[in-house]
Amino acid sequence: MDAIARMKELVPLLNEAEKAYYQEDREIMSNYDYDRLYDELAELEKETGVTLSGSPTTRVGYELLSELPKEAHQSPMLSLDKTKEPAALAEWLGDQEGLLSWKMDGLTIVLTYEEGRLFKAVTRGNGEVGEVITNNARVFANIPLKIGYQGRLVLRGEAVIHYSTFNRINEEIADVDARYKNPRNLCSGSVRQLNNEITAKRDVRFYAFTLVDAEGVDFENSREKQMEWLRSQGFETVFWRRVSRETVTEAVEAFSREIGEQDFPSDGLVLTFDDIAYGQSLGRTAKFPRDSIAFKWADETAETTLKYIEWSASRTGLINPVAVFEPVEIEGSTVSRASVHNLSILEALELGEGDRITVYKANMIIPQIGENLTRSGVSHIPEVCPVCGEKTEIRAVNDVKSLYCVNPACPAKKIKGFALFVSRDAMNIDGLSEATLEKFIAHGFLHDLTDLFHLDRYREEMAQLDGFGEKSCQNLLQAVETARDTHLWQLIYGLGIANIGPANAKMLCRAFQNDPEKLEKATKEELVEIDGIGDVIADGIVQYFAREKNRALLHSLLEEVRIAPENFETGDLPLSGKTFVITGSLNHFDNRNQLKALIEEQGGKVTGSVTGKTSYLINNDTTSSSAKNKKARELEIPILSEEDFLKLIGREI
């Protein structure tokens, strides 16, 4: 195939992938494939001197679809050229010095301040026109609404949702398939809400990365002085290191060591000339400014053999393909599985058993299939559901093909419901994996959740199951008995009420003083008065308890368990009003959850990231140079060892 013909194939393919990702918050190809095809197109354009109409190499982005008002940017917000080679960064810098900072993975926002107050916030949009989201920006968790500087200030930054917040929000969504795929998608939806009450609950954070204009302020021609000045005005900025040609490679290595410790999503680094005038003198191309360049992590890949495709049924009927391969070591951990997301991607990769594949971790975290080196082809798409054995159906939604079970009575939902109930944050019954639950349901041991407390009726039958001998039965039955002593919030969470995770379950039980009858009869008006409970969550609770069978289930379960008393008077507790962050390894606690439980018992709260609201950081390595320690020192937040913490609450070591 000649170069022009190949370019004609690549342009619409990449455009469709961009449209799906940026405009519709879905993926039709992996980031790895997108980058590979984009680079191929750019190389062909360079080779031929031809750029086709609509090429993604000349367009900054897609217009976003929403009802938010649109506004043109004063100056275009361009994409950045990129490299994966530290040596290329050194060459790019030359004799200049630069600032190397995190490239955060969220939504770029332009803020304008006038007379010391936030005047306007606009999303990047397509680079030329963005969406006005001023009301939403006002409720970002860390944005200054009023600053000391009284002139006109324009700056750019990234709105992000931290992994800890992302995980908390997902934990509160009982339906696994309804959970958000990644922090970027959640942030995009949160920032562009028409109701900023929803935005406020998402803990969106803004990190400044560029000062565009500040009338009358002399920054001595230095980007670094601009960033330091923004901090003095109350903005949180991206973390940066000052680098030269000699030190940039070492700085990249330092960032790469720290990425696993960061609570925020990042997809690389950005290098900018410190000399403002020099950077501006270089001008721009049609798509890229020449004063900055992006560095994307050169993904560590490993070659392995695909063993088989596992088909995982869900509570919604969606059946997801999961690639299972020979274990490989990547980025310091062993991986053997990776989601393939949907049939469209499975078919594009032509994955078949025995194929030689490459595997990598997207942004050094999430296992993904890179390439299929042998492409034997998709040999088998199940015609029946792996759970119920009923017919499956392929459906195309927005041009993405997925596999579904069409049986409304498929027990997959039942299995997932039992799995939630026995999980660690719910009833914590050890020894009941989904595979074991599936066996028990198939053999008629389990019909509803109360049957879990009467598995002793089937002790002899259980002992005859494959891999489930007398000792396993004994351990399981003991775990069931142990689970009878529980907290009401664990039982409520285990019911699987829509949008109720452990945190919300605790809030509900606290609000109703651990009285299940009050919770069951609560009105929507009573529920929305509880901090953290909005209309959607309240509706879900009311609808759940409106069903007689759900009320009967709760009453039956309450007869099976012993609810521990709770002390809800936290005003006089040692840690009331204190917020903690935990990092590093522990010596006196089995895990972080155990330490978190003690902090909450003493009236405190635990969050995932260090902010101005943090009271203490707990890290046994108090002198380390980790990102959390650095942030705590910058904000003058005390760093405690476990011993220091235990002394703080008057506990003996």
| DSSP per residue, 99-154 | EEEEEE-SEEEEEEEETTEEEEEEE-TTSSEEEB-HHHHTTSTT--SB-S--S-EE
The residue among 419, 417, 418, 393 whose CA lies nearest residue 405 is 393
| pLDDT, averaged across the chain | 84
Residues 56-72 have a mean pLDDT of 62
The residue among 431, 433, 393, 432 whose CA lies nearest residue 410 is 393
Which runs of consecutive H residues, i.e. helices, occur in 405-486? 412-422, 434-442, 459-463, 470-483
Greater model confidence, 236 or 365: 236
Share of the chain above pLDDT 70, in %: 91
Contact 528, 534 (CB under 8 A): yes
Residue 567: pLDDT band (50, 70, 90) is low
Task: Compute the distance between CA of residue 385 and CA of residue 63 in angstroms, rounded to an integer.
Answer: 39
Greater model confidence, 386 or 227: 227
Catalytic residue among 46, 70, 103, 307: 103
Task: Compute the distance between CA of residue 312 and CA of residue 340 in angstroms, rounded to an integer.
Answer: 11
Q: Minimum mean pLDDT among 103-117, 130-144, 572-586: which range?
A: 572-586
The residue among 600, 535, 532 whose CA lies nearest residue 203 is 532
472 has pLDDT over 80: yes
Q: What is the pLDDT of residue 74?
A: 74
The residue among 8, 7, 33 whose CA lies nearest residue 20 is 33
Residues 245-261 have a mean pLDDT of 87
How many other C-beta atoms can be found within 10 angstroms of the C-beta atom of residue 582? Answer: 22
Active-site residue 103, yes or no? yes
Q: Which positions ≥6 away from 266 have C-beta within 8 Å?
A: 102, 103, 104, 105, 259, 363
Q: What is the pLDDT of residue 652?
A: 62
Residues 198-213 have a mean pLDDT of 90
Strands of 205-214's sheet in order across? 117-123, 107-114, 153-160, 205-214
The residue among 185, 71, 78 whose CA lies nearest residue 130 is 71
63 has pLDDT over 50: no
Three-state DSSP string of 475-512: HHHHHHHHHCEECHHHHHHHCCCCCCCHHHHHHHHHHC
Contact 318, 394 (CB under 8 A): no
Q: Which positions ≥6 away from 646 have C-beta within 8 Å?
A: 588, 652, 653
The residue among 85, 78, 3, 79 whose CA lies nearest residue 41 is 3
Q: What is the pLDDT of residue 485?
A: 94
Task: Compute the distance between CA of residue 216 and CA of residue 560 in angstroms, rounded to an integer.
Answer: 71
The residue among 502, 512, 494 whose CA lies nearest residue 550 is 494
Task: Compute the distance between CA of residue 31 and CA of residue 598 in angstroms, rounded to an integer.
Answer: 41
Residue 361: pLDDT band (50, 70, 90) is confident
Q: Minimum mean pLDDT among 208-217, 409-418, 420-429: which range?
A: 409-418
Q: What is the pLDDT of residue 64?
A: 45
Q: pLDDT (tens digit, 9 = 90+) per residue, 74-91?
A: 777 777 778 878 889 999
Greater model confidence, 175 or 71: 71
Residue 570: pLDDT band (50, 70, 90) is very low
**Amino acid identity of 465?**
L
Q: Minimum mean pLDDT among 87-96, 243-252, 431-440: which range?
A: 431-440
Contact 565, 559 (CB under 8 A): no
214 has pLDDT over 70: yes
Half-sphere exposure of residue 243: CA atoms within 13 angstroms, side-chain side: 28
Q: What is the pLDDT of residue 25?
A: 55
Q: Minimum mean pLDDT among 390-399, 521-530, 631-640: which range?
A: 390-399
Q: Determine how β-strand 400-405 pairs with β-strand 266-273.
A: unpaired
Q: Determine how β-strand 98-104 pairs with β-strand 266-273.
A: antiparallel
Contact 400, 342 (CB under 8 A): yes
Scan for tokens 């190397």, then name that residue.
Answer: 100
Residues 253-277 have a mean pLDDT of 87
* CA dihedral angle for residue 315, residue 202, residue 111, residue 286, rounded to 10 degrees: -20
Residues 52-65 have a mean pLDDT of 61
Q: Which residues of 256-412 form beta strands (DSSP E)? A: 266-273, 292-295, 302-313, 318-330, 333-339, 356-362, 366-372, 392-397, 400-405
Q: What is the pLDDT of residue 66?
A: 45
Residues 423-449 have a mean pLDDT of 84
Q: What is the pLDDT of residue 318?
A: 80
- What six digits make up the tokens of 292? 């900055």
Task: Compute the distance between CA of residue 403 and CA of residue 392 in angstroms, rounded to an integer.
Answer: 7
Helix (H, G, I), strand (E, B) or coil at 402: strand
Q: Minimum mean pLDDT among 355-369, 537-551, 627-641: which range?
A: 355-369
Q: What is the pLDDT of residue 158?
A: 95
DSSP category for residue 391: B
Q: Minimum mean pLDDT among 162-176, 335-349, 390-404: which range?
A: 162-176
Residues 446-471 have a mean pLDDT of 84
Helix (H) or strand (E) holding 158: strand 153-160
- What six digits make up the tokens of 497? 């009420």
The residue among 280, 282, 250, 265 whose CA lies nearest residue 207 is 265
Q: pLDDT (tens digit, 9 = 90+) per residue, 493-550?
A: 999 887 787 877 887 888 888 999 999 999 988 888 876 577 778 888 999 999 998 9
365 has pLDDT over 80: no
207 has pLDDT over 90: yes
Residue 653: pLDDT band (50, 70, 90) is low
Contact 427, 490 (CB under 8 A): yes
Q: What is the pLDDT of residue 532?
A: 58
Helix (H) or strand (E) holding 426: none
Q: pLDDT (tens digit, 9 = 90+) per residue, 100-109?
A: 999 998 999 9
Residues 423-434 have a mean pLDDT of 87
Residue 297: pLDDT band (50, 70, 90) is confident
Residues 8-21 have a mean pLDDT of 80
Scan for tokens 């079970």, then name that residue.
Answer: 405
Contact 486, 561 (CB under 8 A): yes
Residues 356-377 have a mean pLDDT of 81
Q: What is the pLDDT of residue 22?
A: 58
Task: Compute the distance between CA of residue 34 and CA of residue 524 in angstroms, rounded to an integer.
Answer: 46
Residue 304: pLDDT band (50, 70, 90) is very high
Task: Compute the distance between CA of residue 563 and CA of residue 486 in angstroms, rounded to an integer.
Answer: 5
- What six digits make up the tokens of 285? 């191309």
